[in-house]
Amino acid sequence: MSSDQRFFDFLKERIGLDVTSVGPAIIERAVRQRSAASAAQTADEYWCILQGSSDEQQALIEAVIVPETWFFRYPESFATLAKLASKRLADINNLRALRILSLPCSTGEEPYSIAMALLDAGFKPHQFKVEGMDVSPLSVEKARRAVYGKNSFRGQDIEYRDRYFTPENDGYHLSARVLDQVRLQVGNLLDPTLLANEPPYDFVFCRNLLIYFDLVTQKQVFEVLKRLTHVDGVLFIGPAEGSLLGRLGMRSIGIPQSFAFSRQSAAEPEPLPIFVPAPLPVPQPVRNVVPAPAIRRPFASIDRPTQSAKPVNADAATLLANIAALANEGKSAEARSACDSYLRSHEPVAQVFYWLGLLSDVAGSVLEAQGYYRKALYLEPQHPDALMHLAALLQSQGDTVGARRLQDRAARSERTADSERKR
């Protein structure tokens, strides 16, 4: 029922979702869930319900959207923001408050992190205002309630929780000091007139969204983002989106792991990063490599365990092991089917999308492989193999700057892993 193209087209039209960016299995699972909740027996019956109810349309969108966010995700971005904000205030002679936009803001962790970062850096409440926007009314409502569970506080440095949150039942309630700095609203970035009457923003956070769109939609959304960002402003994006912005006329500001970009003229060259380690050998795309017998198969388990954002239960671990076994035996069709089965019954994890990327790469489906690698990096930004394989694809397409950026990240990840192993 759920593989009906109508549902893919509906999501593409409403929220710009490109089915190849997440794979059909996730959408199929959402449609099955909503069909059951609506007591629909057939695809046509659910389609009629969907077309006749704006509430059901939003419910399907909510079922597809899986918020994956926490406070101070990509911490270097917030440290960079504090430095840039100080300079920006000086540039405008403190004549107005800084304007900062977070979209999609999901359940509020990002815009509230922005406010906490600036307050911690010594900014006064009148010196900045943050706006958060998301296509999901449910997410915006949760952000407004501002009560968060332990999953929103990750990493070792969570001292900010003591400063800005009060324990409440099984969660933590954000203080009014931060809430007063942030305004939240519902909005769709696909709307070309979005915030058309608002002055541009000094800083815009739009992270891990472009990877879900096809090229046409990416360009459409980028034009909106460019309009929303002040000509002297900075756009913060997700780890896997740098090469996309590079091709659309933006340049990295050169601060590692900040994922911050500014405008550049057509004639302005891409600047060298502040720190460039020794060049790493660029692996050839898997589709062009015939491994020697003594070399491990490209799908073999790596020696070091990859860090997963969420714990994997025993059933999920069994399915993941089965995917690896099928891939290592050269059973590509069965391995892909196993990946789809996993995504239908479990929350997405980076390793599944990495395998889908490799399987697509071997089959010669370059754009599909690239989309899967980006999805893996969204779920696990430092996934070493996804970084290097995506770098190889970008290199083969002539995007040497994007490839080098990913190689540098992989090198930093490897150095961190080595340091941890020596402890």
pLDDT band with cut points at 50, 70 and 90 for residue 302: very low
Per-residue pLDDT tens for 384-396? Answer: 888 888 887 787 7
pLDDT for 353-370, tens place per residue? 999 988 887 777 888 888
For residues 300-317, give the mean pLDDT. Answer: 52
Report the percent of the chain where pLDDT is more than 90.
39
Q: Is the pLDDT of residue 237 over 70?
A: yes
Question: Quick one: average pLDDT of 281-296?
Answer: 38
- C-alpha 215/C-alpha 326 separation (Å) is 32
Global confidence as pTM: 0.68
DSSP bridge partners of 129 = 99
Most confident of 166-170, 292-296, 299-303, 384-388: 166-170
Higher per-residue confidence, 410 vs 343:
343
The alpha carbon of residue 26 and the mean position of all alpha carbons in its chain are separated, in whole angstroms, by 16
Mean pLDDT confidence for 100-109: 95
CATH topology of domain 75-263: Rossmann fold (3.40.50)
Give the model's confidence band at 3: pLDDT under 50 very low, under 70 low, under 90 confident, else very high: low
For 45, 58, 138, the CA distances from 186, given in Å and listed in that order, are 29, 12, 9
Output the CA torsion sign for 400, 404, 406, 407.
Answer: positive
pLDDT greater than 90 at residue 281: no
What residues does CATH 3.40.50.150 cover in the chain?
A: 75-263
Question: Does 273 have pLDDT greater than 50?
Answer: no
* CATH code 1.25.40.10 region(s) in the chain: 307-421
Q: Mean pLDDT, to the nearest integer, of 302-318?
A: 56
Half-sphere exposure of 84 (CA within 13 A, CB side): 25
Nearest CA to 358 among 343, 369, 342?
Answer: 369
CATH fold of 307-421, please? Answer: 1.25.40
* Local structure of residue 178 (DSSP, 8 states): H
What is the bridge-based pairing of β-strands 182-186 and 128-134?
A: parallel
In sign, the C-alpha dihedral spanning 246, 248, 252, 256 is negative
Q: By three-state DSSP, how is residue 155 classified? A: coil
CB atoms within 10 A of CB 269: 9
